[in-house]
Amino acid sequence: LDDQTPYYAWLTKNADAVVEKMPDYHVSRMPEFIATTCDADNLALAIEFYGPIKDQHEGMARSYDIMMDESNQCLRLKETYQSKFDAFLNGL
């Protein structure tokens, strides 16, 4: 999804049911595998959702940190190289 607002709206309403049905080791890795993004708005949504709960699930704080590192790295690279990449594509 380009705009993950509907996803996070649904997840916020259904978080307890989702967490209850998932094994703990999957719950703890949700930020890393589901929320890593290269979009600042989607990262803000992930921070808003996972920030308050990351310390409630064993291992989730580490997964949250990984999500933050990977997303911020992608955003930095995108900011640095996106215009050159766009120029390359326009030249094809």
Q: What is the pLDDT of residues 30-58, one digit of tens each?
A: 999 999 999 999 999 999 999 999 999 99
pTM of this structure: 0.88
Does the pLDDT of residue 1 top 70, yes or no? no
Residue of 60, 73, 3, 72 lying closest to 33 (CA atoms): 60
**Domain residue ranges in the chain:** 29-90
Q: What is the pLDDT of residues 70-84, one digit of tens each?
A: 999 999 999 999 999
Please state, in angstroms and rounded to a whole number, the distance separating the CA atoms of residues 47 and 4.
12
